[in-house]
Structures are given as C-alpha cells and as structure tokens.
Chain A
Amino acid sequence: MDAKQYEKYVKEKTPTHNLFLNMLGAFVSGGMICTLGQLILNICKNIGLDKEISGSWTSLILVLISVLLTGFNIYPKLAKWGGAGTLVPITGFANSVAAPAIEYQKEGQVFGIGCKIFTIAGPVILYGILTSSLLGLIYYFLHIWGIV
C-alpha cells in the first residue's frame, strides 16, 4: 500500500466531528462573544465616552475576560465546545498569548515567558503586520497617483 492509498484508507476508518454541530457551536459561541462586545460598547457610549475610546475599552475588557478565563482553565473548555467561535474573536488571540505565558512561566521570565509567549500568536502578529504594511504601501501609491 503506498502513502496515498494508506491515507485514503485511514480517512475511511477515522471518525470525524459532526460538521453541522461544530458550525452551530461556533455560531452560538462567536455570536455570544460579539454580543457581549456590543453590550460593553453600548455601555461605554452611554456613559459618554466617544466611539473610538469605547471601542478600545471593549477590546480591553474582552481581552481581560479571556485572560482570566484562561488562568482559571475555563477558556479551553469553552473552546472545546465553541471551536472557531471562541478562537477567531479577540478573546481567542488573548487566550493564545496567555496560555504559553502560564505554561512556560516555570522556565523563567526571559527564556520562559519572554521567549515563548508568542509561540502561538507569533505568526498572527508577524504576518498581520506584514500584510498591513504591504496594504498600507499600496494605498500610499494609489493615493499619490490619484487613483483613490
């Protein structure tokens, strides 16, 4: 049996999660996180903060909640159920930074937390910044040439 045949055969023998239930979990959990975000945003606006500052507070509070839930080992349980719904919003990003910080704390402040805090979030940060820079550059030239 060659590698391709074996892979195909294994795929037939391996059970998989129910796609519909996974999507439902993601829809509900992601929706709930976004609703919570909206709630915080509305409260901030209601107490008189301007739109941008309200947005920052919303992000900050969501991140804080996620970090606390990671510390109390609750976030992995939510993610197990919610999947992408809990991973895609900013809370998932916060979880991916907090989790290594907790795990590698034993290896010290520099080589533990310092070196390893971005082991999961690192690619998002690197390629996020790279993509934004490239897009910024394109926008800059389009602006100079009067296209936009």
Chain B
Amino acid sequence: MEQIVGKQSIQFQRAAHILSAASVVGKKEGDGPLGKYFDKVGEEDGLFGCTSWEEAESNLQKEAVTLALEKAELEKWQLRMIYAGDLLAQTIASSFGIMGFHTPIYGLYGACSTMGEALSLSAMAVAGGYAPYVAAVTSSHFGSAEKEFRFPLGYGNQRPLSATWTVTGSGACILGTKGGKARIAGITTGKIVDYGFKDSLNMGACMAPAACDTIYQNLMDFNRLPEDYDKIITGDLGEVGQRILFDLMKEKGFDIEKQHMDCGIEIFDQNTQDTHAGGSGCGCAAVTFAAYILPKIEKGEWKRILFVPTGALLSKVSFNEGKSVPGIAQAVIIEHC
C-alpha cells in the first residue's frame, strides 16, 4: 500500500494505536461543560502547588504524561521518545515539565495546533517502526499565556467578543504499535496560510483559512467527503472562526456544518463563564481530545474522525512590528479499532 497520499497526506500502513490519554485542567475548565470528563482538576488559584504560572504549566505536563503512562500500564523508561509543546517562549513549559522523565524528547511549537503536530509526528515514529511507545503532550496556562502574549492578569482592560480564553490544562496521549481501541490511520500536514489579517484578539479569523485549507486538502488527498467522517473537530476556532470556516468550506463546495465541532466552543459555556468566543491554547485541543473525543472513538460511538488542531502564528514582537497573524492546522485521522 502506498503510504504517501495526495499532496500533503500520509496513510499509514501500520497505523499507530492510541493506548491511553490523560488530561489535567484548571478550575475554570473543571467547572465547564466537559468538567466531569477530565482526569484531574486543579484549585482556584491555578498554581497547582507551584510558585509561578510557568512552573504550574510544566507541572501540568508532568502530571498528564504520568497519568497517561499509568493508564497504559507502562513505565517511563519504556517511552522511546516524547513529542511535547506549549505556547511559552522557547517552549520552557515542555522543557521543565518533561525534564524529569529522562526520556528522549522533541520540543515542538505550532501555537495552538501543537497537539496535532505532536500526534502526527508520534504516529509517524510509531508507524515507521522507530519506537514501540511514544508520548505526545501539549499544555497551555491562562496565566502564563496572558503574560506571554498580552497583559499582566491584574491589568484592567476589556476583551472584545471575538477574544478567546486560554485553557489551563495539559493533555497527553501514549501511542504504541498495538493495543487500545483507537488508531491514527493517517495525517494531513498543514501549510501556513496567511490572509493578511492582523487582529490578534480575533484568532478564530486568523486560523479559519488554515483550517479550511487543511480540511479541504485532507478531503482531496484521501478522496473523501465530509460525510466520511463522523466528526470534523477543529482545535480552537471559537464562535467567530467556526462561522468563517463554514463559509470558506462552502466556497470550496463542501458543507461541514453537520460534522463540525470545535474544542474551543465545547470546553467553556460562554454564557455563564464569560469566555467570549471560546477556549484556546494548545491545551484546549489536547485536553478535549484526551477527555472527551478519544473515549467516544474507543467506545465506537464515532468510527472515524478528523481531528484538526489550529494555531495562530504570532509573537509579541511580530505583532508589534506590524506583521499579520498567519494560521496553521494539522489534521489527524483517528479511527475506532
């Protein structure tokens, strides 16, 4: 079987299996609509027993991987490699979080799409026969992300309705050659798509064109229709991004409204939790996948889904220098098995 499919996709001959997944989140996420699905929910202060936001985020990653390993009944030395990423500069949350495992690691940055990137690379490593067990983990933290990209938490300002709320949480998956009830059948690697949009407080609009590009390419490469997926799940487009994605897909001749779901919209209740357009951050897609999506695939409720975490590629510097905010989306096909 040819593994290289179309322009940007891979169909794995020996698909990597998802053996387990774990999620650790903050209090606000625990209070949200998906609250009961998470493995661990933190306290109100968001510090998880640490002294800074960054340290807390590292701790989230450590706990998520530890829990996922426990669920898969594996020891840390059995992991051949870890693919880890976060939103902080020089991805320090991953470095300090994973350091203690003494496991080979690849640090990743794909903004909020990082879980898609981590799962893609993990699946490739396992499918290629380079590792028996691999972990994919990403995290984000409201406090550290606000500090990194916006203002100190105590600063009083008004967020526009298009703004999203960074999820405090970390999700980890353990992949292996066999076992589990879900497998990564294929991937579509995303391109960076830039429509010249500059509003970093409307990230849904920055990322929707990239999501459209990757989903469309996936359908083309695999010669599929949206109906071939039980769900097409984007990372954190939010309410605004979702509307734009529907329009852009319709322009390309596909209606995905029936299949579409967005982790950012699912994770918070925007009416009671004051989160505006939805949740975001690379923890958003990761924890929603680990806690809510994967169990549904494992149970066979969904047979095949397209998981498409989305990222907005900006830094404080690029924003201040007047650059646009390009988007990226990584698609992963996950099937019940």
19 A-B pairs whose Cβ atoms sit less than 8 Å apart in the complex: A3-B196, A3-B197, A7-B196, A10-B240, A13-B243, A14-B161, A14-B205, A17-B158, A73-B153, A73-B154, A76-B154, A80-B157, A87-B156, A95-B154, A98-B154, A99-B151, A99-B152, A99-B155, A100-B155
B156's contact among A7, A10, A15, A92, by CB below 8 Å, is which?
A92
Name the A residues within 8 Å of B162 (CB-CB): 14-15
Secondary structure of the B contact surface, majority rule: loop
In Å, the complex CA distance between A76 and B240 comes to 25
A115 CB to closest chain B CB, in angstroms?
13
Contact A103 B51 (CB under 8 A): no
Interchain CB contact under 8 A, B52 and A86: no
Q: How large is the interface on B (under 10, 10 to 19, 20 to 34, 35 or more residues)?
A: 20 to 34
A96 contacts the other chain (CB 8 A): yes
- The answer to whether A16 and B195 touch across the interface, beta carbons within 8 angstroms, is no
Contact for A17 among B147, B160, B205, B239, CB less than 8 A = B160
Find chain A residues with CB under 8 A from B161 CB: 14-17
Known A14-B161, A14-B202; contact A6-B197, beta-carbon cutoff 8 A: yes
**Interface membership of chain B positions 231-254, coded 1 if the CB is closer than 8 angstroms to chain A and 0 otherwise:** 000000001100110010000000
Task: Determine whether A2 belongs to the interface, using a CB cutoff of 8 Å to chain B.
Answer: yes
- Interface contact B154-A103, CB-CB below 8 Å: yes
CB nearest to B55 among chain A residues: A106
Q: For residue B248, which residue of chain A has the nearest CB?
A: A1
With a cutoff of 8 Å between Cβ atoms, the chain A residues found around residue B152 in the complex are: 99-100, 102-104, 120
For A54, the chain B residues whose CB sits under 8 A away are none
Task: Point out residues on A near B: beta carbons under 8 Å.
Answer: 1-3, 6-7, 9-10, 13-17, 22, 70-71, 73, 75-76, 78-80, 83, 86-87, 92, 95-96, 98-100, 102-104, 106, 120
Residue in A closest to B274 when the chains form the complex, CB atoms: A80
B324 contacts partner chain A, Cβ-Cβ < 8 Å: yes
A-B pairs, top 10 by smallest CB distance, nearest first, are A79-B156, A3-B196, A103-B152, A99-B154, A99-B155, A99-B152, A10-B205, A6-B195, A106-B52, A15-B161
CB-defined contacts of B147 to chain A, threshold 8 Å: 103
Q: Give the complex CA separation of A92 and B151 in angstroms.
A: 14
- Distance (Å) between the CB of B299 and the closest chain A CB? 35
Q: Is the CB of A16 within 8 A of B160?
A: yes
Q: Take A14-B161, A76-B156 as given contacts and tell me if A1 and B240 are in contact as well, using a CB distance cutoff of 8 Å.
A: no
Q: How many angstroms between the C-alpha atoms of A3 and B159 in the bound complex? A: 24
Complex CA gap A27/B276 in Å reads: 24
For residue A20, give the distance in angstroms from its CB to the closest CB of chain B. Answer: 15
B265 shortest CB reach to chain A, Å: 14
Q: How far is the CA of A22 from the CA of B161 in the complex (A)?
A: 13
Which residues of A are found within 8 Å of B239, using beta-carbon distances?
15
Which residue on chain A has the smallest CB distance to residue B240? A14
Q: A14: shortest Cβ distance to chain B, in Å?
A: 5
